[in-house]
Amino acid sequence: MKLPYRQAVEAICRANRIMLAAHVNPDGDTLGCVLALTHALRILGKEVVPYSAHGVPDIYEWMPGASWVQTSGPPQDFDLAIICDAGAINRIGSAVAPLAESAPLLINIDHHVSDGLFGDVQLVDARAAATAELVYHLLRSLQAACHQHLLTTEVAVCLMTGIITDTGSFRFLNVTPLTFALAAHLQRLGADPAPIAEQVFENRSFAALQLMGLAITRMEVSPDGQIAWSAIGYEDFQRLGAVDADTEGIVSNLRSVKGVQLGILFREVKPGSVRISLRSREGCDVTKIARVFGGGGHKLASGCSVEGTLEDAVSKVVAEATRQVSPP
Ligand code: 5GP
Ligand code: MN
């Protein structure tokens, strides 16, 4: 499949005022892409505003350019909007979506399995391990077209962060020889993986580890041993002084139990509103479960939200998962 990099390059060259948007509950990939593009497009003299409706979680605050990120803003005359790592336009949040929608041209850069593509130029490839891989190719094309060095150390660090986080440090099934080739180039450009991994994975708050302990203590496993789940209530977050970003990594621990095919983490982010993360092993496509509840994502990592009590959410989603994963 050939992606329209040339069209994206031409759109960027023509634009002066560009807005970039990350998805809600931002991760290292969406932020890495938005920040890498912000650095590079500013080198080209563009006026660039990076948005992340949910800001920058503590574990990513060290990323070069993190302080530039805006959570919302008044309407502005952007010539171009670029959305990174969001399977649907509403995934950038209601505070930012109108800004992107009012731009005359929209570039969608993504690697999610998507039902409907959005945007005027679509750099979308579900085989890419991270959206950062696609941004890397775009920047190479842009570099060649503009005869300017764009893959600076800052840009490389941002892209490496996206690749490390979306591949679980090069452990997931999405990793290809291209992922390693690209990472090797980024490291030569100054993006050492070790300090990035340390910042992201070994710099956690006390509350985050307590939350992990709580979730693991409460873990339940289905009678056939195929589904493991756990639930964190709003009151638990309050009591431990934890935030939703502190749940990072918990769901993959649920899936790591021997024999478990599917891990599900439920958390009541505010009373009556439950966020759900699903992680599976190969052979079990969790987008099918997430979609039943209006969510989506990747085959092995998806998410959705359910309104109602934590107990209701657990019973509905576990029942659906059981229907799909371990029918009687
Ligand atoms: P997480 O569990 O880390 O929040 O999300 C896992 C994956 O599913 C991510 O790629 C994320 O973009 C996607 N995802 C999470 N929640 C939703 C949702 O509500 N809707 C859609 N379409 N995708 C989601
Ligand atoms: Mn991603």
Give yes or no for a contact between 251 and 27, defined as CB atoms under 8 angstroms apart.
no
Question: Cα separation of 6 and 207, whole Å?
Answer: 46
Torsion angle, alpha carbons of 71, 77, 81, 83, to 10: 20
User: Which pLDDT score, from 0 to 100, does residue 115 have?
Assistant: 65
At 167, list the tokens: 């591949």
Contact 161 CB / ligand 1 (< 6 Å)? no
Which residues place a Cβ less than 5 A from the ion ligand 2?
A: 29, 85, 131, 166
- Predicted TM-score (pTM) of the model is 0.93
User: Which pLDDT score, from 0 to 100, does residue 1 have?
Assistant: 72
The tens place of each residue's pLDDT in the chain, 328 residues long, gives 799 999 999 999 999 999 999 999 999 999 999 999 999 999 999 999 999 999 999 999 999 999 999 999 998 999 999 999 999 999 999 999 999 999 999 999 999 977 678 999 999 999 999 999 999 999 999 999 999 999 999 999 999 999 999 999 999 999 999 999 999 999 999 999 999 999 999 999 999 999 999 999 999 999 999 999 999 999 999 999 999 989 999 999 999 999 999 999 999 999 999 999 999 999 899 999 999 999 999 999 999 999 999 999 999 999 999 999 987 7
Contact 30 CB / ligand 1 (< 6 Å)? no
CB atoms within 10 A of CB 204: 16
**146-167 per-residue burial string, b: 16 or more CB within 10 A, e: under 16:** beeebbbebbbbbbbbbbbbbb
Span from the CA of 216 to the centroid of ligand 2 (angstroms): 26
Give yes or no for a contact between 326 and 318, defined as CB atoms under 8 angstroms apart.
no
Q: Which atom of ligand 1 is nearest to the CA of 85?
A: 12
Count the helix, strand and coil residues of the chain and give each as a percent rounded to the nearest 5: 45, 20, 40
User: Which pLDDT score, from 0 to 100, does residue 214 have?
Assistant: 98
Residue bearing the CA closest to ligand 1, atom 20 = 295
User: Which pLDDT score, from 0 to 100, does residue 328 have?
Assistant: 75
Quote the DSSP letter at residue 245: G
Total count of residues recorded for the chain: 328
Residue bearing the CA closest to ligand 1, atom 12 = 297
User: Which pLDDT score, from 0 to 100, does residue 113 have?
Assistant: 78
